[in-house]
């Protein structure tokens, strides 16, 4: 039943040879990977105004364009820098690969941890921001915003589990609808302002005290809030292998188009927010909603725009669903993440990474009450940390290998590193108490976990490794004494078949029963004597009704007494019903728990399955 449900949700399995078809074209790659960067403008301008207006009142609008211009300048610098990263590292991995190769292991892990946190927050924030757009148009949904966010996140997860090719087809349409509708909003808004002027919103004239220190701090705080507009720039460099051939050329084209769209939309929205003087409201309509209502009025165009905004924000989380599984698969190959994350699933996607991303992002949405503004302070620290490490690594790369135009390339990456590092510092200071401290604390913890995982894999590999000399010395003709222990709960077909199998393999077989009821134990003993299978039965009474603990104690004592040539095998009867849910919900899983309890004992544990009524169920 589970397999049928899985096939219905995810579609039929794809063979490994189909991987060549699961690649991005420029059209689809731009739509998927640009969604995060383009959609960031939906809350970046609002984040800037939320910092400026309470302090400057109407004066905030005079500062907004200057801050936006600075952010756009940093965007251009980062895009040029990441083009160089794409050309130098066509196998993807982005900041993690660049930092690991050029700066060393620990900086590489910090870059990988920062990217992981970035993608998790991208999925959470994009989803809550999409919900904000919906609740702005339909306020009746505000009380259930968490459920709405989780529902859309689940939908995006399921589509991504269906594979890269199918998800790109489904998710590309909302991106282009948003781009065209936003450009329409900008053009219409500018024409309307030129022809008719703009209604000015009432803004409280709260003047900032004229002290340079406070003014600088406010400016830096607003700049750091707006830097969320730069998130998603690194996504293309992380996902180069996902493009069709020629991968590097296609990735560079997508990065350039992504930058152009982000520049036009972010600059245009900042300009409209300035001339129409919209006021952001926490828990109320968004800045984009305010602008659209003034420009379009509450007509069909307004609702089309709000719908497209909600869709692009939800789709922005899709960038994370492409980037997070990819970076985790690369780190898993290097041994710094669980090996399961490097395996492709049913539809050739890294399904384990996708599922993990869904659960962690869902948890964040629930913890922060579905609030975008509560999550945003956590966001950009991880992004710009990875920017800094990536650009620093590229700078050192050009210094080492030199090559054609290396001075210019080093200058670009050097400037990128300096400005990114400065932004990290600004973010850390201005957003520390707002939530950035969580990310600053979390990233080193993740690095420590990665090092622990690597140490485990190295230890296991060292213990398992065997050279040719040791292989040639292997003796397959040693004499061993085998002792089989069969735990039984009753005398039934499953037990009888297990005992028959044990006698086929071993001369020395013992059955053991842990009794929690003396009458049942006596009844079993009598039946055993009547049957007389020539197999000893040991009955141990458990006064505290425990089954696993007395069994483990008995087996542990046997293991301690055995000699080097003696092998103890625990052979457990396990009847299996046709229905999976009946098997797990209606029957004790004693064999499963006992297997776990005996993992570290010097015994062999094996199950003997007995299938109950399978033939009849299959025929029916």
Beta bridge partners of 608: 573
Listing from the earlier edge strand, what are the strands of the sheet with 481-487? 537-541, 508-515, 481-487, 566-577, 604-612
Cα dist. 357→161, 326, 409, 438, 587 in Å? Answer: 12, 12, 35, 18, 33
- The enclosing domain of 113 has a CATH number of 1.20.1740.10
Q: Is the pLDDT of residue 153 over 50?
A: yes
Helix/strand/coil for 571:
strand
Residues 6+ apart with CB under 8 A from 7: none
Asked if residue 20 belongs to a domain, the reply is: no
Quick one: 420 and 511 in the same domain? no
Please tell me what DSSP assigns to residue 240.
Answer: G
In this structure, of 66-70, 581-585, 609-613, the range with the lowest mean pLDDT score is 581-585
15, part of any domain: no
> What pLDDT, on a 0 to 100 scale, did the predictor assign at position 367?
92
* pLDDT tens for each residue of 543-593: 887 888 888 888 888 888 887 788 889 998 887 776 666 656 665 567 677
Average pLDDT of the chain to the nearest whole number: 83
Q: Looking at the structure, tell me whether residues 541 and 611 fall in a common domain.
A: yes
pLDDT band at 288 (very low <50, low <70, confident <90, very high): confident
- φ/ψ region of 197 (left if φ > 0, alpha if ψ in -120 to 50, else beta) reads left
Residue 470 has what pLDDT?
84
pLDDT of residue 373: 74
DSSP three-state, residue 185? helix
Between 581 and 468, the more confident residue is 468
Q: What is the pLDDT of residues 350-398, one digit of tens each?
A: 889 999 999 999 999 999 988 877 887 787 788 888 889 988 999 999 9
* pLDDT confidence tier of residue 147, bands split at 50, 70 and 90: very high
pLDDT of residue 1: 53
**Is 221 domain-assigned?**
yes
Going by pLDDT thresholds of 50, 70 and 90, the confidence category of residue 282 is: low
Instruction: Indicate whether 494 and 615 sit together in one domain.
Output: yes
Residue 246 preceded by cis peptide, ω within 30: yes
Q: What is the per-residue pLDDT for 77?
A: 87
| Angle, alpha carbons 110-115-116 (nearest 5°) | 100
Closest of 363, 28, 308, 345 to residue 166, by C-alpha: 28
pLDDT computed for residue 360 by the predictor: 95
Q: Domain check: are 95 and 134 in the same one?
A: yes
Q: Which of helix, strand or coil describes residue 239?
A: coil
167 closest CA partner among 29, 292, 73, 290: 29
Residue 333 lies in a domain: yes
**193 & 227 share domain:** yes
Unique residue bearing structure tokens 């976990």 = 449
Spell out the alpha helix ranges (H) of 476-579: 493-505, 518-531, 548-561
Residue 284 has pLDDT above 70, yes or no: no
One domain for residues 453 and 527 = no
Asked if the structure places residue 2 within a domain, the reply is no
Task: Take residue 288 and report the two structure tokens written for it.
Answer: 């984009």
Q: Does residue 452 sit in the same domain as residue 492?
A: no
Residues with Cβ < 8 Å from 411, sequence gap 6 or more? none
Burial 568-584 (b: 16+ CB within 10 A, else e): bbbbbbbbbbeeeeeee
Task: Please report, for the domain that includes residue 559, its CATH number.
Answer: 3.40.50.620
Q: What is the pLDDT of residue 449?
A: 95
Answer whether residue 464 is part of any domain: no
CA 73 and chain centroid, separation: 30
Regarding predicted confidence, which is higher, 113 or 600?
A: 113
Residue 608 lies in a domain: yes
Confidence of residue 419 (pLDDT cuts 50, 70, 90): confident
Let me know whether 434 and 572 are in one domain: no
Q: For 9-53, how does the pLDDT look when each residue is reduced to its tens digit (9 = 90+)?
A: 666 777 767 666 667 788 888 887 777 777 776 668 888 888 888
* Nearest by Cα to 397 from 416, 384, 375: 416
Based on the fold, state whether residues 437 and 559 are members of the same structural domain.
Answer: no
Distance CA 149, CA 471 (A): 57
**Is 262 found in the same domain as 168?**
yes
Q: How confident is the model at residue 209, as a pLDDT?
A: 42
CA-atom Rg of the chain in angstroms: 31
pLDDT at 146 over 80: yes
Structure tokens at 322: 């492409």
Is the residue at 6 inside a domain?
A: no
Q: What is the C-alpha to C-alpha distance for residues 183 and 194, in angstroms, rounded to an integer?
A: 16
On whether both 415 and 497 belong to a single domain, the answer is no
Choose from 370-379, 491-500, 590-599 the range with maximum mean pLDDT.
491-500
The count of C-alpha atoms lying within 13 angstroms of the C-alpha of 453, restricted to the half-sphere facing its C-beta, is 18
8 — pLDDT class (breaks 50, 70, 90): low
Within this chain, do residues 240 and 388 fall inside the same structural domain, yes or no? yes
At residue 485, the pLDDT reads: 92
Residue 198 clears pLDDT 50, i.e. is over it? yes
* pLDDT on residue 463: 87
* Number of domains the chain is built from: 2
Give the residue among 84, 413, 21, 70 at the shortest CA–CA distance from 255. Answer: 84
Domain that holds residue 557: 478-619
């Amino acid at each position: 039943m589970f397999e049928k449900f899985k096939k219905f949700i995810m579609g039929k399995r794809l063979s490994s040879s189909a991987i060549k078809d699961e690649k991005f074209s420029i059209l689809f790659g731009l739509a998927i990977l640009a969604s995060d960067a383009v959609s960031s403008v939906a809350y970046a301008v609002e984040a800037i105004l939320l910092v400026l207006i309470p302090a400057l009142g109407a004066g905030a609008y005079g500062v907004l364009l200057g801050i936006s211009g600075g952010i756009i300048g940093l965007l251009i610098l980062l895009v040029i820098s990441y083009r160089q990263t794409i050309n130098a590292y066509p196998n993807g991995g982005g900041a993690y690969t660049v930092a690991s190769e050029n700066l060393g292991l620990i900086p590489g892990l910090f870059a990988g941890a920062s990217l992981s946190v970035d993608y998790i927050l991208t999925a959470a924030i994009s989803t809550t921001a999409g919900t904000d757009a919906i609740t702005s148009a339909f306020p009746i949904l505000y009380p259930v915003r968490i459920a709405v966010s989780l529902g859309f996140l689940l939908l995006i997860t399921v589509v991504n589990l269906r594979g890269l090719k199918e998800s790109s087809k489904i998710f590309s349409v909302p991106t282009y609808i948003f781009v065209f509708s936003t450009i329409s909003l900008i053009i219409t808004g500018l024409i309307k302002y030129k022809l008719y002027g703009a209604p000015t919103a009432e803004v409280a004239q709260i003047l900032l005290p004229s002290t340079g220190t406070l003014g600088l701090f406010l400016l830096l705080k607003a700049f750091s809030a707006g830097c969320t507009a730069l998130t998603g720039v690194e996504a293309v460099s992380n996902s180069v292998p996902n493009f069709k051939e020629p991968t590097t050329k296609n990735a560079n084209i997508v990065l350039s188009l992504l930058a152009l769209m982000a520049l036009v939309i972010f600059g245009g929205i900042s300009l409209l927010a300035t001339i129409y003087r919209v006021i952001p409201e926490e828990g109320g309509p968004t800045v984009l909603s305010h602008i659209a209502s003034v420009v379009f009025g509450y007509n069909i165009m307004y609702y089309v725009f709000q719908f497209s905004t909600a869709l692009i924000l939800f789709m922005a989380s899709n960038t994370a669903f492409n980037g997070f599984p990819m970076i985790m698969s690369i780190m898993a190959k290097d041994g710094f993440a669980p090996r399961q994350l490097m395996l492709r699933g049913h539809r050739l996607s890294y399904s384990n990474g996708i599922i993990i991303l869904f659960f962690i992002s869902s948890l964040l949405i629930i913890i922060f009450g579905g609030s975008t503004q509560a999550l945003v302070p956590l966001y950009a620290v991880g992004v710009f940390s990875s920017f800094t490490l990536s650009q620093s690594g590229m700078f050192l790369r050009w210094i080492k290998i030199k090559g054609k135009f290396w001075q210019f390339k080093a200058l670009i990456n050097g400037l990128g590193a300096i400005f990114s590092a400065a932004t990290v510092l600004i973010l850390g200071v201005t957003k520390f108490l707002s939530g950035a401290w969580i990310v600053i604390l979390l990233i080193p913890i993740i690095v420590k976990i990665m090092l622990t995982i690597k140490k485990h894999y190295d230890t296991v590999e060292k213990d398992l490794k065997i050279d040719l000399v040791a292989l040639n010395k292997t003796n397959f003709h040693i004499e061993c004494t085998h002792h089989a222990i069969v735990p039984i709960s009753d005398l039934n077909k499953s037990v009888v078949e297990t005992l028959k199998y044990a006698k086929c393999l071993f001369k020395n077989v013992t059955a053991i029963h842990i009794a929690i009821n003396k009458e049942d134990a006596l009844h079993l003993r009598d039946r055993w004597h009547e049957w007389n299978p020539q197999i000893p039965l040991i009955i141990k009474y458990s006064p505290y009704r425990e089954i696993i603990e007395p069994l483990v104690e008995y087996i542990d004592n046997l293991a301690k007494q055995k000699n080097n040539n003696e092998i103890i095998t625990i052979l457990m009867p396990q009847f299996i019903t046709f229905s999976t849910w009946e098997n797990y919900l209606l029957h004790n899983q004693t064999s499963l728990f006992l297997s776990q309890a005996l993992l570290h004992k010097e015994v062999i544990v094996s199950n003997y399955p007995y299938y109950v009524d399978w033939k009849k169920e299959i025929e029916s």
